[in-house]
């Protein structure tokens, strides 16, 4: 017998929403005919890659589009306002009505915790402002209430925080403040726009846990905007997929992530590197995603034999940054960015250096590229001690290692053609001297990264992020290096683009016997691409071993913590164990206060773990 149906009105019902930027012939459609319902106490995740229109849709709900130049050209956003006791169409409501709802019944958390708080006001006054506005509280009561909510998001020392300024807080703490600020009027709807994208994975786990708890406690509905399928799988009840400003599909999280109906969703899911998907294989594996990356017949290098001579041997490398202070400007503190770091990289091998922000992984890369001077330690390139060489001869080694940076937008000179940028390293090192040589090299490099050779005449702004990162890789190849240091090189890219660039890197490695030092915080990508993995914590390597050893048999508590914090793409699965609390400690220490050195002991062939 069918259960009697009760008419359930969704809290928010979006119908045929279209948003345009600009007017007339110059109008660009950013959202095209989007419809969805958000029910009470439910979490709806809107997923898609950059430019899909997911953030724009959320700003439309708040009626804030006009401030970034957008207009709602059609559609209705019907919201059941308890405050006003009626249904309000947020697309057409008067500004005064919207202001009553904003921050009160519908609140929002933004992506960048570092810039979401106003730097010139204290945390307390920024929170009190909302409470005074919507609940008419006086300063004293508003502070009391603010304190309650800071406690609710588990901020330690909440009382002191009220009088702190944003710059005194870490990113994770700022995001908690932002959440406390958003929920302090107990909104019916909380919009979270990529709330954890800028945070470290263990901090991300904490923030997601807090949002889930608050949702249960306060009965808030959440619109969760994300590009991260793992996060979505852990957070959402329902999922809506967008692509290029259009609706693709929607449904329950189990249906959409478990049994996607549309090709795009399937491809998107296939491009997501999943931790554990490589269990049992020893060699890295190319992504094979129809419509995104095609198999090219190239097999990635198998695990490298360690009886070969290493390309690079790093021994007890220590790099510190001085912090000066006091009346006489003496060195009072040091950042122990890298302490006694030792590892080898073999020809044709990828060593992944993983860790969270402040772990010193980038410092190691920069020290190898000789962008910073180490305090002590040795670095041997094909057996030759680099730091023992005079300055001029060290330069010759520089061309053997090349750096690829995270930000593909900032690392190409906007005033130079792509061709000029590509051959620049070769020019600096005197490998090309004539114009004809330069043109040949540029064409050759573009071919290597699968880009048309006539791109050499164009300028960087004409390329997408993924193409630019290909160009950066091409430039790194200009001097025929044997080692490429990739510092978060794929972290800023959308998953489908990331999959392509990761594939490209593996193919280039197989073809040219390149070695990679792959510096990243993203464990899932590491599992795909690397032969061996070194885990860094507070400037020291705490565990190093083959990919299988680290992922299938992690020994150090930090490695385990890092792996368990990664959101798993397993629809319907909710992490139950609360994540470990606490901030990532700082590697800054007073002069004379030397850190305890981690002693690595061997647990199995090639697998070393810190005590």
Q: How far apart are CA 271 and CA 357, in angstroms?
A: 25
> Alpha helix (H) ranges present in 3-94?
54-62
Strand partners, 499: none
Least distance from another protein to the Cβ atom of residue 78, Å: 19
Query: Closer CB to another protein, residue 178 or residue 351?
Result: 178
Complete DSSP assignment for 239-261: EEEEETTEEEEEEEHIIIIIS--
Retrieve residue 83's tokens. 């405050």
Query: Closer CB to another protein, residue 20 or residue 237?
Result: 20
Query: Closer CB to another protein, residue 325 or residue 606?
Result: 325
Helices (H) and strands (E) in the chain, counts: 20, 23
Retrieve residue 43's tokens. 């979490």
Least distance from another protein to the Cβ atom of residue 160, Å: 12
Q: How far apart are CA 224 and CA 109, in angstroms?
A: 10
Least distance from another protein to the Cβ atom of residue 179, Å: 12
Contact 539, 337 (CB under 8 A): yes
Which contacts of 545-549 are long-range, i.e. CB under 8 A and separated by 24 or more positions? 545/604, 545/606, 545/607, 545/608, 545/609, 546/282, 546/303, 546/606, 546/607, 547/278, 547/282, 547/284, 547/352, 548/280, 548/281, 548/282, 549/604, 549/606, 549/607
Retrieve residue 500's tokens. 């392509």
Q: How far apart are CA 155 and CA 121, in angstroms?
A: 19
Query: Closer CB to another protein, residue 127 or residue 426?
Result: 127
Exactly one of 325, 414, 452, 572 binds another protein (CB under 8 A); which one?
325
Strand partners, 20: 29, 71
Least distance from another protein to the Cβ atom of residue 95, Å: 8
Residue whose tokens read 């400003």: 245
Interface pattern 121-160 for another protein (x via CB under 8 A): x-------xx--xx--------------------------
User: Dihedrals φ, ψ of 602, to 5°?
Assistant: -80, 130
Exactly one of 107, 222, 253, 562 binds another protein (CB under 8 A); which one?
107
Q: How far apart are CA 351 and CA 236, in angstroms?
A: 35
Complete DSSP assignment for 497-519: HHHHHHHHHHHHHHHHT-EEEEE
Exactly one of 99, 154, 266, 333 binds another protein (CB under 8 A); which one?
99
Interface positions, 266-305, toward another protein (CB under 8 A): none
Exactly one of 31, 108, 153, 524 binds another protein (CB under 8 A); which one?
108
Exactly one of 50, 74, 87, 115 binds another protein (CB under 8 A); which one?
115
Exactly one of 30, 49, 79, 110 binds another protein (CB under 8 A); which one?
110
22-45-62-53 Cα dihedral, nearest 10 degrees: 0
Q: Give the Å distances, CA to CA, from 451 to 286, 315, 348, 493, 504.
A: 19, 39, 23, 18, 11
Query: Closer CB to another protein, residue 112 or residue 407?
Result: 112
Contact region with another protein (CB under 8 A), list: 1-9, 111-119, 151-159, 559-567? 111-119
Exactly one of 74, 92, 118, 604 binds another protein (CB under 8 A); which one?
118
Least distance from another protein to the Cβ atom of residue 591, Å: 16
Least distance from another protein to the Cβ atom of residue 417, Å: 30
397-401-407-411 Cα dihedral, nearest 10 degrees: 50
Interface pattern 328-367 for another protein (x via CB under 8 A): -x--------------------------------------
Contact region with another protein (CB under 8 A), list: 154-162, 321-329, 546-554, 592-600? 321-329
Exactly one of 112, 249, 255, 407 binds another protein (CB under 8 A); which one?
112
Contact region with another protein (CB under 8 A), list: 325-333, 408-416, 436-444, 548-556? 325-333
Q: Is 175 in the site for another protein (CB under 8 A)?
A: no
Least distance from another protein to the Cβ atom of residue 67, Å: 6
Q: Is 24 in the site for another protein (CB under 8 A)?
A: no
Q: How far apart are CA 370 and CA 392, in angstroms?
A: 12
Query: Closer CB to another protein, residue 98 or residue 443?
Result: 98
Per-residue b or e along 82-91, where b marks 16 or more CB atoms closer than 10 Å to that residue's CB: eeeeeebebb
Least distance from another protein to the Cβ atom of residue 19, Å: 16
Least distance from another protein to the Cβ atom of residue 339, Å: 26
Q: How far apart are CA 268 and CA 401, in angstroms?
A: 33
Per-residue b or e along 556-581, where b marks 16 or more CB atoms closer than 10 Å to that residue's CB: bebbebbbbbbbbbebeeebeeebee
HEC readout, 16-33? EEEEEECCHHHCEEEEEE
Query: Closer CB to another protein, residue 121 or residue 459?
Result: 121
Query: Closer CB to another protein, residue 325 or residue 452?
Result: 325
Contact region with another protein (CB under 8 A), list: 98-106, 366-374, 451-459, 532-540? 98-106
Contact 131, 185 (CB under 8 A): yes
Q: What is the CA radius of gyration of the chain?
A: 26
Least distance from another protein to the Cβ atom of residue 432, Å: 41
Q: Is 428 in the site for another protein (CB under 8 A)?
A: no
Q: Is 536 in the site for another protein (CB under 8 A)?
A: no
Query: Closer CB to another protein, residue 120 or residue 590?
Result: 120
Interface positions, 56-75, toward another protein (CB under 8 A): 62, 64, 67
Query: Closer CB to another protein, residue 81 or residue 496?
Result: 81
Q: Under DSSP, is residue 337 helix (H, G, I), strand (E, B) or coil?
A: strand
Exactly one of 57, 116, 245, 293 binds another protein (CB under 8 A); which one?
116
Q: Is 590 in the site for another protein (CB under 8 A)?
A: no
Interface pattern 187-216 for another protein (x via CB under 8 A): ------------------------------
Query: Closer CB to another protein, residue 126 or residue 350?
Result: 126
Contact residues for another protein (CB under 8 A)?
62, 64, 67, 98-104, 107-108, 110, 112, 115-121, 129-130, 133-134, 165, 167-168, 178, 181, 325-327, 329
């Amino acid at each position: 017998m069918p259960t009697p149906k009760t008419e359930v009105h969704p809290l928010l019902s979006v119908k045929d929403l279209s948003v345009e930027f600009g007017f007339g012939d110059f109008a660009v459609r950013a959202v095209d005919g989007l419809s969805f319902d958000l029910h009470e106490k439910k979490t709806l995740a809107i997923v898609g890659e950059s430019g899909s229109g997911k953030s724009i849709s959320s700003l439309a709900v708040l009626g804030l589009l006009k401030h970034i130049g957008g207009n709602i050209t059609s559609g209705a956003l019907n919201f059941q306002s308890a405050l006003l006791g009626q249904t309000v169409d947020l697309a057409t409501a008067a500004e005064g009505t919207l202001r009553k709802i904003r921050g009160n019944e519908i609140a929002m958390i933004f992506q960048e915790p570092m810039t979401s708080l106003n730097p010139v006001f204290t945390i307390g006054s920024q929170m009190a402002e909302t409470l005074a506005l919507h609940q008419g509280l006086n300063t004293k009561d508003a502070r009391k209430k603010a304190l309650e909510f800071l406690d609710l998001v588990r901020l330690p020392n909440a009382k002191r925080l009220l009088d702190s300024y944003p710059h005194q807080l870490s990113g994770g703490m700022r995001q908690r403040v932002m959440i406390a600020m958003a929920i302090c009027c107990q909104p019916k709807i909380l919009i979270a726009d990529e709330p954890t994208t800028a945070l470290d994975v263990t901090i991300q786990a904490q923030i997601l846990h807090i949002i889930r708890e608050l949702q249960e406690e306060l009965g808030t509905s959440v619109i969760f905007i994300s590009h991260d399928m793992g996060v979505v799988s852990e957070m959402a009840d329902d999922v809506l997929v967008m692509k290029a400003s259009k609706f693709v599909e929607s449904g329950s999280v189990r249906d959409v992530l478990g049994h996607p109906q549309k090709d795009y969703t399937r491809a998107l899911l296939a491009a997501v590197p999943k931790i554990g998907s490589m269990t049992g294989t020893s060699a890295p594996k190319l992504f094979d995603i129809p419509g995104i990356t095609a198999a090219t017949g190239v097999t990635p290098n198998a695990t490298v034999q360690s009886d070969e001579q290493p390309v690079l041997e790093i021994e007890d490398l220590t790099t510190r940054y001085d912090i000066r202070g006091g009346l006489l400007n003496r060195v009072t503190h040091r950042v122990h960015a890298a302490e006694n770091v030792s590892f080898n990289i073999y020809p044709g091998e990828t060593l992944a250096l993983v860790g969270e922000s402040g772990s010193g992984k980038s410092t190691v890369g920069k020290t190898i590229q000789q962008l910073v001077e180490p305090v002590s330690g040795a670095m041997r390139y094909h057996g030759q001690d680099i730091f023992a060489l005079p300055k001029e001869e060290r330069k010759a080694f520089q061309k053997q290692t090349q750096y690829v940076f995270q930000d593909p937008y900032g690392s190409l000179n906007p005033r130079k053609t792509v061709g000029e940028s590509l051959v620049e390293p070769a020019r600096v090192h005197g490998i090309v001297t004539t114009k004809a040589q330069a043109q040949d090299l540029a064409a050759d490099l573009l071919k290597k990264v699968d880009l048309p050779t006539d791109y050499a005449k164009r300028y960087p702004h004409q390329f997408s992020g993924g193409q630019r990162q290909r160009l950066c890789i091409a430039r790194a190849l200009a001097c025929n290096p044997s080692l490429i240091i990739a510092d978060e090189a794929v972290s800023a890219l959308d998953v489908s683009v990331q999959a392509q660039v990761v594939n490209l890197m593996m193919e280039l490695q197989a073809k040219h016997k390149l070695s990679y030092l792959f510096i990243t915080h993203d464990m899932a990508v590491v599992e795909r691409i690397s032969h061996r993995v070194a885990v860094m914590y507070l400037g020291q390597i705490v565990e190093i071993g083959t990919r299988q050893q680290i992922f299938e048999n992690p020994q150090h508590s930090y490695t385990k913590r890092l792996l368990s914090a990664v959101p798993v793409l397993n629809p319907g699965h909710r992490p139950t164990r609360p994540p470990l609390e606490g901030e990532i400690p700082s590697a800054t220490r007073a002069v004379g206060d030397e850190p305890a050195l981690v002693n690595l002991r061997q647990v199995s062939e090639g697998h070393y773990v810190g005590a």
